[in-house]
């Protein structure tokens, strides 16, 4: 028990130390130290590229969002109040940047329309759960139509509720709920198909 407690304490101390390091980097950047900007970028570019990629259909688009997002991060860094983890603050900016990118990009605009008349709620209780590896699930989410993909990510990954999503996307709360239900139903269908295909491949060997 003591060993476990020591491990937990060490992990907690490490997290606090990392947060302090990030805070010091922010302070250094605000004081005009250019190396701090590169250090912050190097620390968060990888994880934030994954966030951007989750909302787009190509790595090139994700990289465009990432660069635009970091411009906003450094332009607004003086607004960061050190209340909460800097990574979460940067992530929110990246998500907002990704949504705005989709809205103004012609390749996504036509598929970000949310017509209520074509939506119907899927009973989530009636849907079985299928387990996939995280990367496999992420790949399936990226195959959703942009509207479904965006709402699924905002709700299931980022933790926004449907009222908040409605405000972000300029749609009704009920539309967000219906789109999420359809996205979830599609994912479950694809997951089941993949699981059945994997089973057939195993049995065929």
Taking only the tens place, the pLDDT of each residue in 91-108 is 999 999 999 999 888 777
Nearest CA among 139, 42, 135, 151 for reference residue 95: 151
This model's pTM is above 0.85? no
Q: Which parts of the chain have pLDDT scores under 50?
A: 1-17, 116-130
Q: Which helix (H) or strand (E) element contains residue 156?
A: none
Q: Give the CATH number of domain 113-204.
A: 1.10.10.10
Residue 134 near residue 184 (C-beta atoms within 8 A)? no
Q: Give the CATH number of domain 2-109.
A: 1.10.1740.10
- Residue extent(s) of CATH 1.10.10.10 domains in the chain: 113-204
Crossing angle for the helix pair 134-142 and 34-55, to the nearest 10 degrees: 70
Average pLDDT, whole number, for the chain? 78
- Residue extent(s) of CATH 1.10.1740.10 domains in the chain: 2-109
């Amino acid at each position: 028990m003591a060993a476990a407690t020591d491990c937990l304490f060490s992990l907690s101390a490490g997290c606090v130390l990392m947060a302090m390091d990030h805070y010091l980097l922010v302070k250094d950047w605000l004081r005009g130290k250019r190396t701090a900007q590169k250090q912050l970028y190097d620390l968060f570019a990888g994880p934030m590229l994954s966030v951007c990629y989750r909302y787009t259909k190509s790595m090139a688009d994700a990289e465009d969002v990432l660069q635009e997002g970091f411009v906003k991060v450094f332009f607004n860094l003086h607004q960061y109040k050190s209340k909460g983890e800097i990574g979460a603050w940067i992530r929110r900016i990246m998500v907002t940047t990704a949504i705005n990118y989709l809205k103004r990009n012609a390749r996504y605009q036509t598929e970000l329309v949310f017509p209520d008349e074509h939506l119907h709620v899927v009973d989530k209780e009636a849907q079985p759960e299928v387990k996939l590896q995280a990367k496999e699930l992420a790949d399936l989410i990226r195959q959703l139509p942009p509207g479904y993909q965006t709402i699924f990510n905002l709700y299931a990954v980022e933790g926004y509720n449907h009222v908040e999503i409605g405000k972000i996307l300029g749609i009704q709360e009920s539309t967000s709920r219906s789109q999420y239900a359809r996205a979830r139903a599609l994912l479950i269908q694809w997951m089941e198909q993949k699981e059945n295909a994997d089973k057939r491949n195993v049995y065929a060997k």
